[in-house]
Amino acid sequence: MFKKLRNIFRGSKSIKEKEESENNGISVIDPVNMATKGMGLKAFVNIDAPLLELSSGMSFELGIKDKLITGVSTEEARGRSFHRYYTQDEYFFQIEFFGEDRHDNLERLALFTYLEDEGQNLDSASEEDKDYWKDVIDNSQEYVCKNNTYNRVSDVLGGLEVVIMEDDVNTIDNTFAVFSRTLPNKLEEYIIVNAEQEVEVDDNYNITDHTSLCVSVAIGVDVSHNNLRVLS
């Protein structure tokens, strides 16, 4: 579902860093040198990124530095992997790489959090609300949030996302658009406006049932691979 995002989130190339050990003749990658750093369910990820706390004019807030991963979604297509790691405190890591799960294959690593004062649950009877958010996602060239203007950097994206949790699996039907603004220190700050609903699917991934529609708005920034440490 997320493969088009690789054309949206652009940044400097990763520094090549590869350390391998031999285990019964098989080359094993140290988790520190994986693109995902070995993230997984129930892992704690420590974020040590002073730039995110000192950046002038940034609306994104880091929150607590140790984040527990409670949900994971993955898509793989044509050699490209796209991962989301959802955390207990309503953040998610967005990681994309091409080929093997190695730091030198990393193309994007970003951190997002949901904005509680943006978006809404859509009443099925309110066509006005539905039309408003549909127009934002389909047509709006700008999105204003916290008195800042973000410019559209994507087409309409979406599809089914399967989120695996410790005791459950959720399938989400997403339709979203991405907006961006450049901060004074040249960092990019992103907004994702997403119309989503949990669905049930059959064996062929045809939707057979769904819950009510809601709109979420997430704000995020790029994070350096070196700023993350997986604690467990």
* pLDDT (0 to 100) of residue 68: 97
Reading the block at residue 17, the tokens are 């860093």
* pLDDT (0 to 100) of residue 204: 82
Domain ranges, ordered by start, for the chain: 3-114, 120-221
Helix (H) or strand (E) holding 136: helix 127-138
- Distance (Å, rounded) from C-alpha 1 to C-alpha 161? 7
- Distance (Å, rounded) from C-alpha 79 to C-alpha 11? 20
Q: DSSP secondary-structure letter at 130? A: H
- Distance (Å, rounded) from C-alpha 111 to C-alpha 174? 19
Q: Of 215, 230, 14, 28, which is closest to residue 117 (Cα–Cα)?
A: 215
Whether the Cβ atoms of residue 174 and residue 195 lie closer than 8 Å to each other: yes
* pLDDT (0 to 100) of residue 51: 82
* pLDDT (0 to 100) of residue 124: 66
DSSP strand E in the chain: where? 20-23, 26-29, 44-47, 66-77, 80-87, 91-98, 106-114, 120-121, 142-145, 148-152, 157-165, 169-182, 188-201, 207-210, 214-222, 228-230
* pLDDT (0 to 100) of residue 112: 97
pTM, full prediction: 0.84
Query: In a structure prediction context, what are the per-residue pLDDT tens digits for the chain, which is 232 residues long?
Result: 443 454 444 443 333 333 343 444 444 568 888 999 999 999 999 999 888 877 778 999 999 999 999 999 998 888 889 999 999 999 999 999 999 999 999 999 999 999 988 888 887 668 898 899 999 999 999 999 989 999 999 999 988 999 999 999 999 999 999 999 999 888 899 999 999 999 988 888 788 888 888 999 999 999 999 999 998 7
